[in-house]
Structure 1
Amino acid sequence: MLGQRWQELLQQLAGRHPGFIRRAEGDGLLGTLLFYDADQAVAFCRMMNEQYRIDVSAQTYKADCPPAALTKLPLIASEKLLEFIADKMEKALAAF
């Protein structure tokens, strides 16, 4: 159930920021925001890590894949944690 909720939150983020994010993908607590621009993906991940201390990894090195921000949430995550992370992601995206 929490994995489904995480995917819903990522889809909502992607829907609110179509200028930066192509789409959200993932399964359960593994999620990806696919960006149009590699520099934006890196800046987003850097902000999540440095400002909010939330581990989000940038994947920008594969020529045949769009730039991505990868999340791997722990199995012990709570709905409160999912909402907290999604809120910080929203704030990071709003800073662009």
Structure 2
Amino acid sequence: MTAIVARPVSVKLDQETRGRIDRLATSRRRTTHWLMREAIQQYIEREEKLEAYRQNGIAAWEAYQASGLHVTQEEADAWLAKLEAGEDVEPPACHV
């Protein structure tokens, strides 16, 4: 098993931000170190999901440009209305 090596990283914070972290850590009964690690991990996860969503959008746009396949807004709205009404229906077929 490979050991995970954690290395320190320095972050410069203004006094107000540092004070806010200190107060929050105290109220949560956590260390400031834990709080900052948690904040960074949550930020990275959120940004990675956002980037994946963005990349999926780019890929969908490129696929549309290459093939021209699409559904109209009316077709999509009608399908979504059926789903909202509880009907188990297939999505509309794409067309050029």
Q: TM-score normalised by the shorter chain: which range applies?
A: under 0.3
TM-score by length of 1: 0.26
TM-score by length of 2: 0.26
The structure with the greater share of residues assigned to helix is 2
The structure with the greater share of residues assigned to strand is 1
The higher radius of gyration belongs to: 2
